[in-house]
């Protein structure tokens, strides 16, 4: 790998620490491994959005300072902006608005957003799902602008907007410069797409890159080099694009992630990412 590979901004996600460690310990663990940037998953059981944003922001800032890391992206979990149930849509909207305010107080540039979940067996029609998403995203874009945060809509394996082209079309329907794309290498491979090609399709809207390993026929966010994602090609494409946004290793396979992250550090260095010794 060429020496300029160290220009990629490597982050570790805290998502895999859910149900294993509290959030302050999760940040400390990834900091001890050598990551200096972190994607904080802002959902239960780590983060309670029913609490005042200012209190949570102060706690997170203290945890990050103690761990020696910076929060570069926020993510959320278990939300559905296009649920057939209005109450679920409303709580998802409130949670994302809360996360945008939290990102603003922490001076985090990006909030990663899953467009929604659609039933595999009785899927909501495209026109209805897109109309709901357009309404929700428009409301969130206005909130993002107030807090100086960019929403990076993620390619998601939940039956709705699994490919970059679908997200680009949705963003084109909005009149906002606060919207961008997160390409998740594992998610798009599972959707039958080439991760590197999806990066190129995202083009100038590409703002956050997620990676982990998966199988084409079985979705996972498992350790790199254990399944079918061509991570070296994904990284080469990011360099070809002169990508400067966060690149997030999202290891979440049900196991305690510290050992896997530590052992994978050697492969990450071989790919050109800079971690401390």
Beta bridge partners of residue 184, listed in sequence order: 210
Is the pTM higher than 0.85? yes
| pLDDT class of 276 with cuts at 50, 70, 90 | low
Q: 26-83: per-residue pLDDT in tens?
A: 999 999 999 999 999 999 999 999 999 999 999 999 999 999 999 999 999 889 999 9
pLDDT of residue 1: 34
pLDDT of residue 77: 84
pLDDT > 90? residue 6: no
Q: 168-227: per-residue pLDDT in tens?
A: 999 999 999 999 999 999 999 999 999 999 999 999 999 999 999 999 999 999 999 999
| pLDDT class of 87 with cuts at 50, 70, 90 | very high
pLDDT of residue 274: 74
Q: What is the mean pLDDT of the chain?
A: 95
pLDDT of residue 272: 82
| pLDDT class of 9 with cuts at 50, 70, 90 | confident
pLDDT > 50? residue 155: yes
């Amino acid at each position: 790998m060429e020496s300029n590979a160290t220009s990629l901004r490597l982050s570790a996600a805290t998502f895999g620490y859910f149900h294993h460690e509290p959030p302050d310990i999760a940040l400390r663990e990834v900091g001890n491994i050598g990551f200096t940037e972190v994607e904080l998953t802002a959902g239960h059981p780590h983060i309670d959005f029913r609490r005042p944003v200012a209190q949570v922001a102060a706690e997170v800032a203290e945890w990050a300072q103690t761990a020696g890391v910076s929060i570069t992206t926020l993510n959320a979990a278990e939300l559905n902006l296009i649920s057939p149930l209005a109450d679920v849509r409303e709580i998802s909207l409130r949670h994302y608005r809360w996360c945008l305010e939290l990102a603003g107080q922490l001076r985090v540039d990006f909030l990663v957003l899953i467009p929604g979940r659609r039933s595999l067996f009785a899927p909501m029609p495209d026109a209805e799902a897109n109309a709901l998403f357009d309404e929700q995203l428009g409301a969130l874009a206005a909130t993002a602008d107030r807090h100086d945060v960019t929403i990076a809509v993620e390619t998601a394996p939940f039956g709705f907007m699994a490919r970059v082209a679908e997200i680009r079309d949705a963003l084109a329907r909005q009149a906002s410069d606060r919207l961008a794309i997160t390409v998740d290498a594992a998610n798009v491979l599972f959707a039958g797409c080439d991760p590197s090609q999806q990066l190129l399709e995202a083009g100038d809207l590409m703002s956050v890159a997620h990676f982990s390993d998966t199988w084409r026929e079985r979705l996972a966010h498992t350790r790199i080099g254990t399944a079918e994602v061509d991570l070296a090609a994904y990284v080469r494409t990011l360099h070809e694009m002169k990508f400067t946004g966060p690149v997030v290793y999202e290891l979440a396979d049900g196991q305690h992630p510290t050992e896997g992250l530590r052992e994978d550090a050697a492969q990450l260095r071989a790919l050109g990412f800079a971690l401390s010794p």
